[in-house]
Amino acid sequence: MIKINNETNEITTDCKTVGEFITQAAAVFYSCVIIVDGCRYEFVRTPKVRVTDETQIETVTMDRDCDIVITTKPRPKTVTRHGWVNLYHKGWIDGIIPGSRLFNTQEEAADRFDISIDCEKLATARVEWEEEVRQ
C-alpha cells in the first residue's frame, strides 16, 4: 500500500520492489514516478499496468513538482565462475550420472574417476555459474 501525507508530502509504502510500487502507483496517481539512475514513468488516467521490475527500493520521496522519486538499492555484484565435471553412464540406469566432484581444469577432471559406483565414463563437461560477491 502507498500512503501520502498531504500536509508534509511524506510517502510511506510497504512495497519492496520498483515493479510492485509502479504497479500500485499507476492505479492511483496522476503524476510522474522518477527512478534515480533509471526510468521516468508518467501516469495519465490511472492505467492498469503490471510492472515486473525486481529492483529493490531504498527510499521513496516527493520532489517540489510533486513527482515521486524512487532511490533503488545497489544491485548485488556477481562474478562468473566455472569448473569441470565428469559424466558417467551406468548400464542398468537409463541416463547420465554426473560426477561428484568439481575440478579446476579439464585435464584434472579427465585424469580422475571420481565416482564410486561401477559405471562407464562418458565425457568431461565444463559448467558455469554466477555467485554474488559478499562485501
- Residue 78's pLDDT is 86
The neighbour count for residue 36, using CB atoms within 10 Å, is: 11
pTM of whole model > 0.85?
A: no
**pLDDT tens-digit map of 4-58:** 887 887 888 999 998 898 888 877 776 667 666 667 777 666 667 788 888 888 8
Report the C-alpha gap between 14 and 132 in whole angstroms. Answer: 26
**Taking every pair of C-alpha atoms in the chain, what is the biggest distance, in angstroms?**
76
- Cell 488516467: give the residue: 45
Residue 13 has which C-alpha cell?
Answer: 509504502
In the chain, what percentage of residues exceed pLDDT 70? Answer: 78
- pLDDT higher than 60, residue 134: yes
Residues 6+ positions from 97 with CB-CB distance below 8 Å: 87, 88, 89, 90, 115, 117, 119
